[in-house]
């Protein structure tokens, strides 16, 4: 009996070592259900038409941050993650009626970063100590871009498109002002999966620049991803993430305007 117990402990230690050396695990994709078991597809919502003046997203002034949290009885064997994109691109369209504004934003998957020390330190929380071993960071990045999750080899970007904008309850009377808050219904395309989410967005329009920002809780399953779980759930990544973003875009000048200068 003692020999069996010792063998089990050694096996568990080896399994944990393998997981840690490969980087903290991130969600893997569950096998696709059989056609008979698959739920009927809901007809996709149509993205809003692009109307009004185009504003190009400025990557250097924009940032998307995703916080993923460890879970399970063996959560202490891993750590929480800060995933970020400094390479957002796309266009925001601003008509006279701001309620009809729209956007299309692209997030290049290969340029996502994992656990940057500066971003972890910015959290100012014991949940995100600044230092993460480089081997673990690189392992997490490989797992994230691998075929089991984002499949960066075949799906090069995440795409976000406006479906519609609705006044937020706290700012229902401010829809036409230069600044305010809306609820954005957004079509997400992640790993070829098209879904829809709703997030609160604060916006400001000044001097040819539009800035949008916000923070929300979002589940991986809402994007068509399946959170990682191993050892009967003892080691896992929580379904719920916390995201924050700041998107800055500047008005595109027409060729005619440039020639008149």
Task: Tell me the domain boundaries of the chain.
Answer: 2-28+45-259
Q: What is the pTM of this model?
A: 0.79
Q: Which two tokens stand for residue 143?
A: 């797992």
User: Which of 82, 66, 76, 64 is CA-nearest to residue 128?
Assistant: 82
Per-residue pLDDT, 183? 96
CATH class of 2-28+45-259: mainly beta
Place of tokens 């009004």: 52
More confident position, 15 or 88: 88
Classified as helix, coil or strand, 115 is: coil
Per-residue pLDDT, 70? 73
The proportion of the chain whose per-residue pLDDT surpasses 90, expressed as a percent, equals 52
- Indicate whether 1 pLDDT > 60: no
Assign 205 a pLDDT band (cuts: 50, 70, 90): very high
User: Which of 93, 82, 54 is CA-nearest to residue 253?
Assistant: 54
Query: What pLDDT, in 10s, does the model give residues 155-183?
Result: 999 999 999 999 887 554 444 457 899 99
Assign 13 a pLDDT band (cuts: 50, 70, 90): very low
- Indicate whether 42 pLDDT > 90: no
Assign 71 a pLDDT band (cuts: 50, 70, 90): low
Contact present, 115 and 132 (Cβ < 8 Å): yes
- Indicate whether 31 pLDDT > 80: no
Which of the 8 DSSP states describes residue 244? E
User: What dihedral do alpha carbons 53, 54, 60, 62 form, nearest 10°?
Assistant: 80
- Indicate whether 233 pLDDT > 70: no
Per-residue pLDDT, 203? 95
Classified as helix, coil or strand, 169 is: helix
- Top-confidence range, 22-26, 76-80, 127-131, 242-246: 242-246
- Indicate whether 185 pLDDT > 90: yes
CA angle at 55 for the pair 50 and 61, rounded to the nearest 5° = 135
């Amino acid at each position: 009996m003692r020999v069996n117990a010792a063998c089990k402990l050694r096996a568990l230690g080896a399994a944990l070592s393998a997981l840690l050396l490969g980087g903290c695990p991130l969600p893997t994709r569950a096998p696709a259900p059989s056609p008979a078991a698959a739920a009927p597809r809901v007809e996709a919502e149509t993205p809003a038409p692009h109307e009004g003046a185009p504003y190009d997203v400025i990557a250097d002034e924009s940032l998307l941050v995703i916080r993923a949290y460890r879970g399970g009885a063996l959560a202490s064997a891993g750590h929480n993650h800060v995933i970020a994109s400094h390479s957002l691109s796309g266009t925001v369209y601003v008509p006279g009626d701001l309620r009809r504004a729209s956007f299309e934003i692209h997030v290049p998957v290969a340029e996502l970063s994992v656990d940057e020390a500066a971003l972890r330190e910015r959290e100012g929380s014991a949940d995100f100590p600044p230092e993460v071993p480089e081997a673990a960071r690189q392992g997490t990045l490989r797992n994230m871009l691998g075929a089991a999750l984002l499949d960066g080899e075949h799906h090069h970007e995440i795409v976000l498109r406006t479906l519609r904008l609705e006044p937020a309850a706290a700012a229902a009377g401010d829809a036409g002002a230069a600044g305010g808050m809306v609820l954005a219904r957004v079509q997400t395309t992640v790993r070829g999966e098209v879904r829809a989410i709703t997030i609160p967005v604060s916006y400001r329009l000044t001097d040819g620049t539009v800035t949008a920002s916000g923070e929300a809780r979002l589940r991986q399953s809402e994007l068509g991803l399946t959170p990682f779980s191993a050892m009967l759930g003892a080691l896992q990544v929580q379904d719920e993430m916390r995201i924050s973003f700041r998107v800055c875009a500047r008005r595109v000048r027409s060729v005619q305007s440039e020639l008149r200068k």
